[in-house]
Amino acid sequence: MSIKNIRDVAREAGVSIATVSRVVNKQTSVKKYNKDKVELAIKKLKFRPNVSAQRMASKRNNNTIGLIIPRYTNIFHSFYALQLLQGVGVAVERMKMDLLVHITNGDTFLNISSVEGVIFADIVGNEEQVDYVIEAGLPCVIMNYYTKDLPVSCTAIDNFNASMDAVNYLIKLGHSKIATITGDFKTQVAIDRLNGYLIALEKHKIEKKKDYIKYGDFERESARDLTKELIRMKMPPTAIFAASDEMAVEAIRVCLENGVSVPGDISIIGFDDNPLALNYSPIPLTTIRQPLHKMAVMATKILNDVIQKKIRANKRIILPTELVERGSCRALD
């Protein structure tokens, strides 16, 4: 029989994880009706709150926070990870706090007795660790993932509207044959960016072609073969929206290697405003700039405010993006 966690209890009781967390941590702000359902589910599932985690959380270090980063390929060369580390590092230094960084694939976890609060750089593969922190009653902020259900604060990028902006920009340039190369669907980010692409086409009554949707993983290697598939179609797209600058830059290289002019034959737009977009791309890349550094600074400040009990523990912020026009897109004649 598998060990039940806080998510199982929430599902059984038909309430949010936040409600289960409040009951487990003996908070009074729960309606009796919901409290009874949670306690019944706990009994039925034989759920045992992690007492050791709660004890460790009560003895935590008052001047240190933890940053949990999901482990993935090329993380030590990642623009995303570097921006978050810089943002959190700057904020921690300003607040005269210490920082413990923990990179994990979900199998290992930071000892929470050593920190006053935790920041998660997304929660890909770390869902159980988020539950562990919530169950312990430890202040927590999640970056790059927007949640209404979890009893935590979050700072995220408006990926849905940002991708709509990218596609709307291409449409204003006269494009209707617009393809996309997506990110990794394990992430909320990739799903939001695809949905923004689809809704933008729908609003402009442009046909959504399955062959124009290519499933990548944010990394440049995935874009190479997918771009070849697009430019070799009988009816190739006149524009590509890539869910990351790394994929967009690789798409440009593939096009040029195969005699396809950018932006003459095909326009390409990326997402991130990675230095690759300007300094290493064969063509200066039009892209969506996302405020990763600002998101990290805000997340750290929010965590500190929660720790200091200046604000409640479920502040949620979505940050806007900015379209940066360069040389990889053109208007159709």
Tens of pLDDT, residues 203-260: 999 999 999 999 999 988 999 999 999 999 999 999 999 999 999 999 999 999 999 9
Nearest CA-CA partner of 318 in 189, 197, 198: 189
Three-class secondary structure of residue 300 per DSSP? helix
Query: Would you say residue 134 has pLDDT above 90?
Result: no
Domain residue spans of the chain: 1-49, 159-290
User: Which is more confident, 269 or 280?
Assistant: 269
Quote the pLDDT of residue 314.
80
User: 159-290 adopts what CATH topology?
Assistant: Rossmann fold (3.40.50)
pLDDT tens digit string along 56-80? 555 555 689 999 988 766 666 778 8
| Alpha-carbon span 175 to 208, nearest angstrom | 13
Three-class SS state of 62: coil
Instruction: With a cut of 90, say whether residue 81 has pLDDT above it.
Output: no
What CATH code would you report for 1-49? 1.10.260.40
Q: What is the structure's pLDDT at 102?
A: 84
DSSP state of 294: H
